[in-house]
Each structure stands twice: as C-alpha cells, then as structure tokens.
C-alpha cells in the first residue's frame, strides 16, 4: 500500500522546538532548510507510487523519504550502508525530509529496500522528472537569467574494471560458459574439456594474468580462435544464441576479430570501433581515445558575463545547471548541441546564446541553433591557414543569400552558376590580371578570359566565423566558457561524479542526474545565504512585524470567543521570496 505524507500542511506545534534558536537557525540556513522548503514537495513521488497498489499489500515506506534518501545518497556520495546510518541518525536529513516521528518506521531503511527503490527510480526515469521540476522551481524563485549559457562534457567512469583486449575475451567466454553450464549442462558437456577448463577453472584463469608482454599477441590469437569456435558451435541453436551472454560473444567477435573462411585474425587496435564492448558487466559503456572507458555527461549551465563583478554580488547570483544528459564515452560532442537546446526549450529555459568549445561549433550545429533562435559562440576547428598574405572567403563581399557581391578588389562577378553542391562565380579575367590582389586571390582560371571562385554556403560561413574569432569582441564573449571547468570540478569534489559506485546506463544516468541536481541545491543554498546576509536587518524587522501580525490575527479572535473563517498569512515581498525565505501558512475554520 502507498504511504505518502502531506508536507504542505503546517504543524499546530513546532516539532523542532527542542533544537533551540541557534541550532534551528543553522538548519534553516543550511542546505537542509532549503531542501525542506523548496525541494521536498517538488520530488515526483507519483512516478514511484505507480509501482505500488493503493488498496493491497504491506504499507510502503513514506515515499518522500524514499526519494529524498536516494537523492541525498548521490549528493554526498555515500555507500548504501552509510546512507542507512545517515537516515537513521542525521538531524539534517530528518529536517530536510520533514521526518518528525522517532520510530523505526520513519527513520530506518534497510539496504535492500534502498537498492530496490534506487533501481526502480532509475528504470522509471524519476531522475529526469525530479531534475526538471526542481530546476524550474529554483529558476523561478531565484530569478535566474537563462539568456547566456555554456555547454561542455565531463568523463564519468562507472564501477567496472578496465580490461585489456585479452582480459575482455576471457571475461565474455567465461561468463557464457558459466551460464551455459547452469542452463544447458548437456550442451556444456559436449564442448572440448580443454576449452571449458581454460575459461571456467580458477587455476587456469589465473594463468592469463601471468602472460608476458612478448607472449600477449599469441595468447590473444588463441583466445580469438576459441571465441570463434564457441560462436560457430551454437550459431544454429536458438535456445543458446538467445542468451544475453552469447550475444556478447558475437559482439566481441564482430568488433575485435576478422573472420575469413576458417581463419580468425585479431583486428588492429585502430580498427576497433570506439563504441565496442569494453566490459561484459557494463555493455553500454564506450571508449574515448582522449579520456578512456566509461560514459560522458553533457552539462549546460547559466552564467552572467559581468566584468569586474564584486564578490558579494557574485555570491548572490545563482548559476543554475539547466541540462544534463549521460551518453557513452564514444559519443561525439558535436551531436549534443541540438538535443540540449531542444530539452531546455521544452522546459522554458532556452538561452539566446550558448558558449562552447570547438567540438560543438560545427556549421551544422550553428545553423540548427540559429533556426531555434540561439547563437552558438564557439571557435572553428582547424587553423584554416593560407599562404603568406592570402585572401579568405571572408574578405569578399557577400549578399544575404551568401552569393558573391564583390571581390576584395571591388569587382562584381559576371555570373554565378550552380554546380554539384557548390556555386561558381565567374570574374572578368582581364580585370583580374591588372588587379594588385591577383596573386593572393583564391579565384582561379585558365587563360585570360575568366577566373572562377568555387564555394558553398558552409565554407563562406566558416570563413566568416574564423575571421570573427580573431576580433577582441569574440575573445571577450568566449572567455566566459572557462567557467564551466569550475562546475566540472565542483561536481567531482562535492559529489564524486567522475567515479561512480554503479554501472549500467540506467543506474549511471540516475546517479549523474541526481548529483547535478544536488549541486544546484548547494548553489541555491549559498545564493540564499548571501542574499539574506546582504539584507539581514531589514528581514529581521519584516519577520518581527509578520510575527505580530500572525499573533493578533490568529489568537486575538480566539480570546474574544470567535475564530477567523479564512486566514491568509501575509506573504513576504517578492525579494524575500526569491531569497527562499518566504512562506505561506493557511488556516481554515
């Protein structure tokens, strides 16, 4: 049965009275106070509630406590055992999750339940729903300006062992043979004893770890032949080739080996695709030649391009992470721009410009973003170097349709003809011969009648961008991209993002998304504290007045023998609500 506590209704008596004013103030100013007031009620417990029945079964743990616990586990990078202890004894967790009872039912959670809930949340996509809801809430309360954002990726390693090619061959064959012996013992017994012993007995497996570097190539070739033998032996057995472990065998054989007739050869390392299987325990992980095995997270955040900003003003501003997506390490950064812009636009957080490095700044991405009303500020890949003093396409004068209007010498083309995927602009050859820029001009031709400039729209745009990125204005705009590196460092130092305790794409995506959400919460806490510190005496006076207002409006009528029919507690001004300090209390007759 489903058990969900109503966290929006206030208490008649304060359940935290025993803390005292100083400890209570510390709780309110910490992440726990912000979590309790702004985040807790936004957690999408309805996603998890779909797993339970409302009319049958043992009562579940309180769902807000469950979802909050798995979020805080990722926020503080805790093991399952440490999470159980924190939920049982940590006063900050109790305050953040609004747990007022002292029984085991409210504050105790066994490790098995925690593991089950985390798996269900990952499978049902609760992480994406929580990130969208809480981020939108924080953006509205703190008045986050989303016009300027920056995008980058960070490498994430899941909890898998890094295997060499030989170790990978051995691991997939051992996994398959163990499963075959368990589910189809007769077929396992029909295999050669030498083959099965090599990959199932521990004494034989340990020999692979003692292979000398000079013998590695021979052992790898032998393992490749054994792999091909296993695949061919059960290729026509539907009961076996439908097994997941057998499919991994076929995948490794196709990715790592070249099979011709009866010969099996190991492919060169450069010929193996980056999206190949890295470890049978985590088949979705990929390989990046720059960063290694694992996953990568695309992260986009807001920023303010304010030069010489005072430290107090900087602390009061909230730089909010608006987008996060987890993909294989083999995925190209260039393919992340359009999905990121589409995702933030769907949630009403679309920017006007995005700053990113050259991997994201391809012409296709820039044009797709421009169609969405977003400008991508990124340098062009490659130097685009010319001969000494050579002219670029950007030196020509172009129309709005990217057709040549005039050359750098001031001459208009005689005609412009379309060719296959390009345009050809013809210039008067006699004028080109006497032009002082003739030797440096990219227009070429045979004879003296005409010279031709051949180009396409992408080449013109890239040349114009390459010329623009050398200007001081571009350098001033692009320098703000470096701030995203601090965000990646914060994600790693504060939440342990780069080295996770889980493996598999759903679990990795859930952990990464929750860690990014936690950083948003920590940043919002800091911004709220800075804003409150900037107006401490004003807010103290306001809350003194609000306290008197509440006292006389609530208890005055009761002393006279009457009760207010409907009382709306005075809401703080908009500035205080943005600080996260506002609250509303309703009492009905």
Q: What is the pTM of this model?
A: 0.84
State percent of the chain over pLDDT 70. Answer: 88
Which positions ≥6 away from 320 have C-beta within 8 Å? 135, 138, 139, 142, 144, 146, 301, 302, 520, 523, 524
Q: How far apart are CA 383 and CA 105, in angstroms?
A: 64
Tell me if 362 sits within 8 A of 344, measured CB to CB. Answer: no
- Report, as an integer, the average pLDDT of 187-200: 90
Q: What confidence category does residue 84 fall into, taking pLDDT thresholds of 50, 70 and 90?
A: very high
Q: For the stretch 491-522, what's the b/e string if a residue is b when 16 or more beta carbons lie within 10 angstroms of its beta carbon?
A: bbeebbbbebebbbbbbbbbbbbbbbbbbbbb
Write out pLDDT tens, residues 125-181: 999 999 999 999 999 999 999 999 999 999 999 999 998 888 999 999 999 999 999
Q: How far apart are CA 334 and CA 45, in angstroms?
A: 35
Burial class (CB in 10 A: 0-12, 13-18, 19+), 218: exposed
Q: What pLDDT is recorded for position 207?
A: 66
Write out pLDDT tens, residues 235-272: 889 999 899 999 999 999 999 999 887 788 999 988 99
CATH architecture of 128-161+290-379+471-534: 2-Layer Sandwich (3.30)
Q: How far apart are CA 449 and CA 333, in angstroms?
A: 47
Dihedral pair phi/psi, residue 586, rounded to 5°: -115, 135
Q: Which residues pair with 292 in a beta bridge?
A: 288
Closest-CA residue to 428 (of 442, 408, 439, 443): 443
Q: How far apart are CA 122 and CA 71, in angstroms?
A: 11
Asked if pLDDT for residue 571 goes beyond 50, the answer is no
Q: What pLDDT is recorded for position 447?
A: 60
Domain boundaries, the chain: 1-124, 128-161+290-379+471-534, 165-271, 393-468, 541-588
Please give the sequence-ordered ranges of beta strands (E in DSSP) within 349-398, or none if there are none: 353-355, 375-377, 397-398
Q: What does the longest C-alpha to C-alpha distance in the chain come to?
A: 108
Which positions ≥6 away from 118 have C-beta within 8 Å? 70, 73, 507, 510
Neighbour tally for 158: CB within 10 Å: 24
Closest-CA residue to 159 (of 73, 70, 290, 282): 282
């Amino acid at each position: 049965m489903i058990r969900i506590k109503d966290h929006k209704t206030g208490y008649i008596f304060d359940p935290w009275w025993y803390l005292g004013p100083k400890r209570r103030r510390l709780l309110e100013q910490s992440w726990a106070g912000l979590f309790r007031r702004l985040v807790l009620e936004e957690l999408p417990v309805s996603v998890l509630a779909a797993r339970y029945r409302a009319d049958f079964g043992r009562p579940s743990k309180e769902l807000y406590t469950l979802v909050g616990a798995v979020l805080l586990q990722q926020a503080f990078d805790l093991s399952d055992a440490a999470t159980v202890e924190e939920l049982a004894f940590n006063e900050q967790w109790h305050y953040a999750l609004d747990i007022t009872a002292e029984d085991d039912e409210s504050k105790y959670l066994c490790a098995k339940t925690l593991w089950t809930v985390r798996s269900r949340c990952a499978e049902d996509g609760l992480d994406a729903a929580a990130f969208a809801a809480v981020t939108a809430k924080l953006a509205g309360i703190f008045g986050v300006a989303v016009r300027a954002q920056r995008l980058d990726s960070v490498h994430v390693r899941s909890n898998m062992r890094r295997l060499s090619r030989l170790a990978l061959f051995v691991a997939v064959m051992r996994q398959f043979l163990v499963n075959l012996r368990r589910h189809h013992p007769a077929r396992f017994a029909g295999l050669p004893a030498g083959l099965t012993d090599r990959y199932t007995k521990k004494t034989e497996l340990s020999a692979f770890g003692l292979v000398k570097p000079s013998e590695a190539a021979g052992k790898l070739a032998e393992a490749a032949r054994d792999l091909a033998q296993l695949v061919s032996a059960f290729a026509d057995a539907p009961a076996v080739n439908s097994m997941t472990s057998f499919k991994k065998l076929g995948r490794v054989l196709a990715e790592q080996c070249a099979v011709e007739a009866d010969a099996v050869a190991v492919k060169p390392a450069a010929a193996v695709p980056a999206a190949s299987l890295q470890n049978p325990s985590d088949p979705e992980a990929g390989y990046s030649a720059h960063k290694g095995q694992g996953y990568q997270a695309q992260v986009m955040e807001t920023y303010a391009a304010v030069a010489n900003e005072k430290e107090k003003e900087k602390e009061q501003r909230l730089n909010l992470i608006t987008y996060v997506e987890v993909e294989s390490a083999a995925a190209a950064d260039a393919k992340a721009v359009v999905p990121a812009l589409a995702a933030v636009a769907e949630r009403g957080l679309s920017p006007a410009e995005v700053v990113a490095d050259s991997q994201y700044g391809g012409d296709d991405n820039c044009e797709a973003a421009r169609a969405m009303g977003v400008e991508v500020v990124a340098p062009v890949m490659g130097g685009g170097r010319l001969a000494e003093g050579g002219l670029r396409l950007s030196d020509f004068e172009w129309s709005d349709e990217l057709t040549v209007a005039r050359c750098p010498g001031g001459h208009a083309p005689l005609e412009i003809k379309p060719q296959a995927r390009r345009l050809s602009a013809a210039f008067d050859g006699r004028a080109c011969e006497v032009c002082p820029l003739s030797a440096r001009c990219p227009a070429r031709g045979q004879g003296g009648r005409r010279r031709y400039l051949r180009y396409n729209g992408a080449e013109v745009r890239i040349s114009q961008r390459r010329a623009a990125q050398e200007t001081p204005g571009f350098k001033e705009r692009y320098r703000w991209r470096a701030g995203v590196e601090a965000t990646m460092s914060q994600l790693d130092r504060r939440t342990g993002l780069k080295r996770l305790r889980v493996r598999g794409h759903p679990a990795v995506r859930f952990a990464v998304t929750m860690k990014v959400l936690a950083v948003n919460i920590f940043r919002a806490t800091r911004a709220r504290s800075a804003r409150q510190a900037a107006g401490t005496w004003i807010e103290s006076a306001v809350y003194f007045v609000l306290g008197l207002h509440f006292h006389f409006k609530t208890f005055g009528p009761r002393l006279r023998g009457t009760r207010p029919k409907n009382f709306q507690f005075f809401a703080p001004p908009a500035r205080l609500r943005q600080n996260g300090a506002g609250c509303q209390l309703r009492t009905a007759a």
